[in-house]
Each structure stands twice: as structure tokens, then as C-alpha cells.
Structure 1
Amino acid sequence: MNIQFMNVAVTLIEQRVTPFANLLTRSQHITAMRDSFALAMPFVIVGSLMVPLIFPPFAVNADAWYGAAYQAIRPMLLPTFELTIGLVALIIAFGASASLGKQYHLPERLCGLTGCLAFLVFIGFKETDTSNIFLGGIGIFSALISSFYSIEVMRLFYRRGWCIRLPEEVPVMTRNGFQLLMPLLAIMLSITLLNAILKQNTGMILPDMISEAFRPLIIASDTLTALIITIVICNLLWFIGIHGALIVTGIMNPFWMTYLFENQQALANNITPLPHIYLQGFWDFYLLIGGIGSTLPLIVMALRSRSRQLKSVSKIGLIPSLFNINEPVLFGFPIILNPLFLIPFIFVPVINACIAWYLTHLGVLDRAVAMLPWSMPAPLGAAWSANGSWKNLFMCLFAFFNAWMIYRPFFNVYERQLVESESK
């Protein structure tokens, strides 16, 4: 192994990647996207927990005792599923608007409500008597665009002073409410007018056009190429000390949520195979075994290490790593900016991703239909996110074994260096 070459590679990564990563990290709109999905996450998880009960992974015999129980319980659980997963775009509209408004030092709650109203006008909420399809995962991009538009208009009106301003003696809530009147009116009327013009000339409203425009991007994002690119970018950023997962998941969350919604719709309609592979469950439980870079095998190796440093870090990091938290390993070994671990840190998840992707594409593994907390232990998460698939659980265990075999020679070299250093 040429350590000098690895040091040059690390320096090159720092010089070329860090400025772009810092730019994305400071982006207010990406921060708002990330915050909105963090806000929606508990609602999506609760809705996902209903999936195995509403759509069980086995055929239900109506004549059996459990068939009658299923028929009685299913209607009671459906509202929870429909009001969490089914309204996820509305929740994201509130979260993105409130977060962006907070960053612009605007009234946070009023911004969130303005974003919700703008989104509802945007999707033509009352044009049909049935539930609007854009309230669920299919409307996520429309929710983000309408939210950003409404807050940017608010910001423009506030900066230019195109508002009704009341004296300081008036209560804050009343003062803020009157200040919002003019921008709110401009937002509502502009969206209504735009949709009316588009409807008259094209037969579609703006969310329909956005869905069509993003469809090629959604398809392209659910490919092995996109999967490998996101892994490499995320792990390279982590390797130089930047939280790459925040950037990558912030960009991928709209796609993952859309994929989740479409997989659940396909499951409800008994469509096989399900349309999407690259969901958050794939990312969390095949590629983050013990944390970013699949570092849980390193912890297990270090428990019996001859190096005092590695053994100490392993004792501290074992329990967090079981729940996919590996900062003690990244900074304690360290892996960050350690040339010895650059190759396995990037290629372990890439190789596991390729194996899992092709097995899923061939139908050997099951596709995810539920969103779970990323901190769930990987084998359990892999099974549960795919509606209780034991095959996915064994794939996760194989990915652990594969990571062990790739990390082992690099670990041995590093351990030998540390033992020699400690003996001196």
C-alpha cells in the first residue's frame, strides 16, 4: 500500500470537495428541505408501522379466525395510515416554510401556515370531491416549490416595506397578522392566476406539470448509478470531516418519500414487483451497518485488539454502533483523514450496495414499503422495512460479513502501526 499516494488523494479531496460541500451545507433552501423531512419523519414512521397490519405479507384467509379479526381491525387502522402517509406533502409544506422563514427572521408559525395555504391553492385542493393525490408523496416537489415561492414573496414584501405596519403598542400577534395581509394576498392571487392560465392553455395545473418534469429525474434517481454516486459523495465528505449524510439525505429525501408512497400504493393494489428499489430503508440498513461506512465490523475486531487505543474506542463505541451511531469510531480510531481507511470506507458500502441492488432487481430480496428510524439495528430494520422479509435480514448479515472481510487487512496494518507506536 502506497501511503504517500493515499496522502495525496486525501489532500486532493480536501481541496476540491470541501468548498462545494460547504456551499451546500450553508444553503438555506437545502436546510429547509432537511428540516421539513425531519418534521415529517415521525408521522411517516407511524403510518409505516400500519403497513404490515393493513397489508400483511401473507394471504389472508377470510374463513380463518384471523381473517375475521383482520377484516374488523383493518378499517380502524386505515385512517391512521391515510392521515399520516396521505398528508405527508402538507406536513412538508409547513415544515419547509417555517424553517425557511426562521432563517430569514420572519414569523415562523405564520410562515408555516402561509406555506400550507399556498400549497393547497397550488394543487387545486377543492377542484374534486375525492382526495387530492398531491397531498401524499406525489406532491412533495409541489409542496417544496410552493413553500419556497411563498416565503420568498413574503421576504420581498417585508424587505421593501410593502406591508401594513401597526404601532409597537399593538400586541405582537396582531401586528404580525396585519403585516402578513399584503404578501399573503399577493401569494394566493398569483398562484390562483397562474393555475387558471395554465389550465386554460394546457389543460393542466402547475403541480401536474411539475410531476411530469420531475418524472425523468425520479426514474434516474432510482438507479444503481445514482446509488453509487450518493454513497461515494457522502463517504468522501465524511472522510474529510463534513457531515455528508446531511447533504445527501437532504437532496434524496424528496425522491425517497415519493418512492415510498408509490411502493405502498403498489402494495395496496397487489402490483408486483414494487416499482422502486432505492428507498431510505435500502440506504439505512444495507449501507449503514453500524453507521456511515458500515463500520460495525471494525468495532468487533477492535474489542480484542492488541492496541490499547483501539480497544478503548471499541468499548466506548460498541453500544452506539449497534444503533448506527459511529462518531466514536470515526473520530476515535480515527477513520476521518486516515489514509489507511480511505479505500474500505468508500468501497465497503459500494460493494454491498451493488450486491443488494442486483439481488433486489432479480427478485431475490424484497423491496422496502416502510420508513423506520435510521437508528434501528440494521438486520431488524432491513426485515421490518420490507414488510417482515427474512431474506433482507440475511442480506444484512451477509453485508456485515462482507464488510468484515474487506476491512480486516486494513485493520491489521493499522493495528500493527499503533502497537509499535504504543510499545515505544
Structure 2
Amino acid sequence: MARRSHFLTLFVALFSIGLVIALVSNPQTSFQAALRGLNIWWEVVFPATLPFIVLSEILMGFGVVHFVGVLLEPLMRPLFNVPGTGGFILTMGFASGYPVTAKLTTSLRESGNITRAEGERLVSFVTTGDPLFVIGAVAVGFFHNEQLGFILAATHYVSALLLGIMYRFHAPRDLSTKPISKNKLPLLLRALQAMHRARLNDGRAFGRLMGDAVHSALQTLLMIGGFLIVFSVILQLLSTLNITQFLSAVITVLLSPFDLPPQFAKALISGIFEVTLGAQATSEVPGQVSLMWKAAIASAVISWGGLSVHAQVASILANTDIRVAPYLLARFIHAIMAAIMTLIFWGPLTRMTEGIAASKPVFQVYDQPRMLHAWSDSLSHNGLTATLIFIVLIIISLLLYRQASRPTR
């Protein structure tokens, strides 16, 4: 173990020294890559993510998480082996995208609402791309095909839910939170009582709660921006040093049995590091390649998320005892599942979406130079998505609760 630790230290040191040398040797290339990462953060990530982090912090302070936890306990516990509060993370994660779920899971763990194993299960399957990115940026912006967006979204989110059911068996011997005790009060009233108690226990005035939420959101987003810039520079330097070309050649050999063009190797290499670049490279594969294979690769790239996102998640989870290894394994499994589902259900999903007419592209938010437009668009699209997901989860949970409450004969 000690010898491997020494080798790891030596490898990281040599890799860091090599990056510094490459950075100094290619200042203009590094500057342009950093500027590109900064633009993505400022024009896309910052306005699209800040409202959700701030609002989620406020909702947690007001006890809404406990309200949702009581309502969704009949659904989340048997399906995913996490407490009902995980339904709040599921809703916000599916609506707002990759890094938000890690932040919310960390908050739940720090407050003692979930155990380590439950946090690992939760962050492993709720870390997904947001619908605005999957349908707008990838399908409409890169592939110019809105119909494809619904196919990608279906395979992406359904495979995430299947992954959650699979991960319910993760760490079965570890501690779990106690199920919410039942009493004679109606479910909704018990949820309101839980929210009121949580609000009293928090005790912060609205002004302080708002200030803490904005401060926490800005800290998280600054960290995310730093990772975006660093990985943008690293990916560009690896391309300049022809390292990505070497890796592409290796992946080309692995893809040869499937009779896929070498351009897919470039897309996979880009997607390993950064999800947006990987999806864009997939859309640029020559037109003679079947759209089904392009969609499968794009679905895998979106579900993987990229090392840039993983580094952000690992940095956020470092504040708790939640391990990153289960999360990384889940991302790999999710990518494989999403790609396979796209290939298997391509025909039925295509026929289902044939009647969907092309509408105004929602990708325009990713091309907006003004933060105010991106802010309002992200709130309207993602807020509607979160509301719809929450309503569906509440209906299913109430049905399950009603079924479980019926007296046995």
C-alpha cells in the first residue's frame, strides 16, 4: 500500500510539472482556453445555477425539505432506500443539473438528515444533466433536432431512476436513518408539522437566511468556475501536446469491431473531460453515420458528465464523509445504461416522437450574452420542470401511502 502511495505521489507530481511546463510553453493557447472556460461559466453556468442554489438553501432553511420528506417517504424509502428528504434532492437535481445535487446532499449530511450510505446512494443517481441542457444545448443546439432531445431526455432520466433502484442495495449493512414515525394525523398535516419544527430549530431570520444562501451559492459557483477554467486549459493543452490524438487512436481500435468512424473516438475523449465539448464533437461526426449511434454516444457522454463535473462534486463532498468512489462507479454505469437504452428503444422512441412538431429552439439561453436573459430563461424552464417533477412524485407517494394505510383483512 505504501509503495503504491509513493508511485501515486510521483505520478501526480510529474503530471503537475508537465502541465506547468506546457502552460508556460503555450501561453496564448492557455489564455484562449481559460477565456473559453470563463465565458461558459459566466454566460451559462452562473445564471442557470445561482437561482437554484439560493432558492434551495432558503427552502431548506424554512423546513420545506422536511415537508417534502414526510410526503415522499412512502416513495423514496422502498424504491431507492433513502429517506423522503431525498425526493427534494431528486426534484432539484433533475431540474437544475450536475453540481447542485452534490451541494444539497452535503447540506443534508451536515445537518444529520441522511447517513453516509444514503448520501452516497442519493448523489449517485440524482446527479444528471438538466432538461434545458439535454434538449436545448445538445439536441437543438448541436444536432439541430428537437425530436432527438426527447429521446435523449427519456433514456437519460429513466436510466438514472433505474440506477437509483440498483443503488438501493449499496452498503446494505451501513446505518440508515429511521423511518418517519406514523401517527393518526393525515399525511399532509404531519408534513406541515415537520416543516414547522424544522423552521423553529433553524431559527434564522429571513434576512440572515437570504444572506447565508447567497454567500453559500457564490462560494460554490466560484469553485465551479475555477474547475471549468482549469479543465478547459488542461483539455486544450492535452490536444496541443497530441496526447488526445494518442488516446483517440487507442479508442479507435476498441471501436473498430462496431464499424464506427474514428471521429467517435475524439468525441469520447472530449466527453471524458468535459460533457459539452463531448456532445458537440459527437454531433460533428460525419453524416453517413447512423443518427442512432450518434444519439447513443451523446447519451453516454451526458450521463457520464465529464471529469470537470466529477472534480466539482468531489470538492463539494469533501466537506463530509461521503465517498466519491461509489459516485464515480455510478456515473460509468449510468453512461453504459443510457447508451444501451438508446440503442434498444430507438425504434419505439422515434415513433413516439414523430408527432412532435419542431418549436422555437430552447437553446437560445446558451447563446445569450446577457446574464439577465439567461437568468429568467433558466428560472422559467427549470422551475417548470422542478414543479412538474415534484407534483408527479407527490401523486405517486400519496397513492403508495393510501395503499399502505388500508387495513388488512
TM-score normalised by the shorter chain: which range applies?
A: under 0.3
TM-score of the aligned structures, taking structure 1 as reference length: 0.25
Point out which structure has higher relative CO (alpha carbons under 8 A, 6+ apart). Answer: 2
Select the structure of larger CA radius of gyration. Answer: 1
TM-score of the aligned structures, taking structure 2 as reference length: 0.26
